[in-house]
Structure 1
Amino acid sequence: MSTDSPARPRLTVGYLATPSGDDGIALAVAIARKTGAAIDLVCVVHPVPYDGHPGVEQYQARLENQASAWLAAGAARIPDDIETRTVVVVDESFTDGLIGLAQQADAEMIVVGGTGDGLISRHTLGTVSTELLHSAPLPVALAPRGYADRTEVALDMITVAVPVKPTTSNPLPFSLTFAEQAHLDLRLVSLVSLESPFDDDVSRSARARRVEVVRDLLEKTRATVNSDLDIEVLVADGPTLDEALDNLRWDDNDLVAVGSGHLGAENRVFLGSTAARILRWTTAPVLVVPRSGDPASPPS
């Protein structure tokens, strides 16, 4: 009697023949290397509206052939031992076409680069990435600018932004499953700041008390994780949230997971204000997890 082997996980990678498209490929390769996932490299082209003149079908075919050529060049950047297919999707919206293909393929996540503007190693959102980070029904992984230029990237840790507010969606359940699948170490991080204009003894004392409360929450969270993973807990604090973020250190092999804000729809990605600031500060790729039906709640 034969048994079917587990289905290989799939990554849907949105691609254009640009440096940010190459950044997305590089991140997808790094994830596939750790998870054994297959890659669907996707380019979306707009349908050419019929205007009553001849040649529309030929022009549409020309656009699709050009997209196929771009995909072939992009696929050449993916090592031969990673299962890869290229797909041209015709849709009015690049974002909708990408999401539709990801759902059809039952993908684990969508992977994209940002945009070509902005600082090297930082995140800058373009039109497609912005739309994905405010509507996608599955996790979205975003590569920072210049990620394709990093050499010998091998993901070894996922940093999970554990929320301290019960209204914020918790990315830990998804991140834990992903870390076990990819054999990554886990770092649980919470941010503490009073956003106070004063940096006096009273403010520092209040922040220190809050740090202890949050550290206790993280330790309790770590205790609930039934896993053999190496788990680190860290509280990043500062007078402001930006200064707290500036105290965090990243290396080329990090991945950051954040939850979705409470304003988003259930089971959809929605980049909240804190996650957006993490995105702005980190040099690591960021994985945004859709909002679950149940808000995060601290362990008792």
Structure 2
Amino acid sequence: MTGSVVVGYTATDAGADAAALGARLARSIGATLHLVIVLPTEGTRSAAVPPERAYEDVIRTQARKWLQDAVVRLPQELVRSGHVRFSESFAEGLIAAGEEFDASVIVIGTAGGGLFGRHRLGSVASELLHSSPIPVALAPSGLAQQDDHVLPRVTVAVGTRPGAEGVLDQAVALAGAAEVSLRLVSLVPFDVPPGLDTGAIRLAGSEHAHRVLAVAAEQLPDGLGAVVEEAPGETVEDAVAGLSWLPGEVVLVGSSRLAQPRRLFLGSTAAKMLHELPVPMIVVPRTRNEAGDR
């Protein structure tokens, strides 16, 4: 995983959580961090708000002040900067900024009202998770209140649906750049139709996970390990709740099979995982030229 880290920043607790996760990722892989505030363009503002240059100057000045305050609070060893952008939507502006800065990931916080340490998707996250061509990292509520961390490990949820290879490639790249180990968790038991023999499903999932493990081990730099961990449970939620998590780690998942190539689409499995995850999730777009693409 190369390129910069772009954070969708707001002067809120969710913005602080996003900035903290962005800093964690940037420190771990040696990337430049860009905090981006997206303001509405003239055509998207309420009719009650006068489209005057003076108004634009006021909100731009305030946004820059928020960015300055946020940048100062970031780890001093980071190469970091703040930017104000105007767009018809926050998500659209972030995607444009991600492409402008050659971002490897766009980071956003949870919607207001989420439980501490958990995820709650708002409109911006939902829009990004159904349109972005760049991986999106979701910061759970309260992340900014945790101790500063670099990544101690990367977990990747692997399955057999289209997009699985792309997710593994991204996870291997992130683990390699951060110089940490990789943990594989099989989603195969949840990728098959209900009603099949449970024992056979588990066996197939274990075999698939170990095949993927062999591929990952070959791709990782020397000295970095990869392991498979079984996630017991009859549902995705049970499986995620039964896993142990290291402080500071992240989990990567793929887009739904409904996603267009090089676009995100949050699938039902990833959405279910979010309900139980106490760590950040990075959702990876489907790549082009995969089996099944048309």
Q: What TM-score do you get using the length of structure 1 for normalisation?
A: 0.87
- Among 226, 239, 244, which residue is 2:234 paired with? 239
Q: Secondary structure at the match of 2:231?
A: strand
2:263 to 268, 290, 300: 268
Give the aligned partner of residue 113 of structure 1.
109
Say whether residues 1:103 and 2:94 are aligned partners. Answer: no
Residue number in structure 2 paired with 1:166: 161
User: Could you tell me whether the CA contact under 8 Å between 1:123 and 1:144 is conserved in 2?
Assistant: yes
Alignment of 1:6-21 (within 5 A): 9-21=3-15
The amino acid across from 2:246 in the alignment is D
Equivalence for 2:32: 38
- 1:219 equivalent to 2:235? Answer no
Q: Indicate the percent of aligned positions where both proteins have the same amino acid.
A: 36
Instruction: Evaluate the alpha carbon distance shift between residue 291 and residue 55 of structure 1 in structure 2; reply closer, same or farther with a 3 A threshold.
Output: closer
Q: 1:127: how far off?
A: 1.3
Tell me if structure 2 keeps the 8 A contact 1:122–1:145.
yes
Say whether the 8 Å CA contact 2:162–2:286 is kept in structure 1.
no
Answer yes or no: is the 8 Å Cα contact 2:24–2:148 preserved in 1: no
Q: Which residue among 139, 150, 169 is the counterpart of 2:146? A: 150
The structure-2 alpha-carbon separation of the partners of 1:195 and 1:220, relative to structure 1 and needing over 3 Å to count, comes to: closer
Structure 1 residues not aligned, in runs of 5+: 1-7, 198-202
Structure 2 residue 280 is matched with structure 1 residue 289: no
C-alpha change, 1:246 and 1:296, in structure 2 (3 Å) is: farther
Whole-angstrom CA distance in 2 between matches of 1:55 and 1:26: 34
Describe the shift of the 1:91–1:176 C-alpha distance in structure 2 as closer, same or farther (beyond 3 A): same
Deviations 1:96-151 (CA, angstroms, capped at 9, x unpaired): 11111110111111111111212111111111111111111111111100000111
- 2:173 corresponds in structure 1 to 177
Gaps of 5+ in 2: none
- Residue type of the partner of 2:244? R
Tell which deviates more after alignment, 187-196 or 213-222: 187-196
CA contact (8 A) 1:23 1:147 kept: yes
How far apart are residue 208 of structure 1 and its match? 2.9
Q: Deviations over 1:9-64 (max 9, x none)?
A: 3111110000000000100111111111111110011123598x987000111111
Structure 1 match to 2:75? 79
Query: What amino acid maps onto 1:13 in structure 2?
Result: V
Pairing partner for 1:67 from 58, 63, 66: 63
Could you tell me whether the CA contact under 8 Å between 2:25 and 2:151 is conserved in 1? yes
Q: Which amino acid aligns with 1:16?
A: T
> 2:152, 2:246 within 8 Å by CA — same for their partners in 1?
no
* TM-aligned CA deviation for residue 186 of structure 1: 0.2
Deviation at 1:223?
1.3
Note the alpha carbon deviations across 1:245-296, whole angstroms, 9 max, x for none: 2211223222000000011111011111101111221101001100122447
Change (3 A) 1:173 1:61: same
State the 1:218 CA deviation.
1.1
Structure 1 CA distance for aligned equivalents of residues 281 and 124 of structure 2: 16
Query: Which residue pairs with 2:274 in the alignment?
Result: 279
Structure 2: how far apart are the matches of 1:253 and 1:66?
Answer: 32
8 Å CA contact 1:196, 1:239 repeated in 2: no
Question: How many equivalent residue pairs?
Answer: 281
Secondary structure of 1:40 counterpart: strand
* Structure having the higher Rg: 1
Partner of 2:244 in structure 1? 249
Q: Which residue, out of 128, 135, 141, partners 1:132?
A: 128
Q: Distance in 2 between matches of 1:293 and 1:185?
A: 27
Letter in 2 for 1:142: L
TM-score (norm 2): 0.89
Q: What is the alpha-carbon distance in structure 1 between the residues aligned to residue 264 and residue 50 of structure 2?
A: 42
Paired with 2:198 and 2:50, the residues of 1 have a C-alpha distance of 70
- Report SS of the residue matched to 2:182: strand
Task: Give the direction of change, closer, same or farther, for the CA distance of 1:120–1:216 in structure 2 (3 Å limit).
Answer: same
Change (3 A) 1:241 1:58: same
Alignment partners' CA distance in 2, 1:154 and 1:55? 44
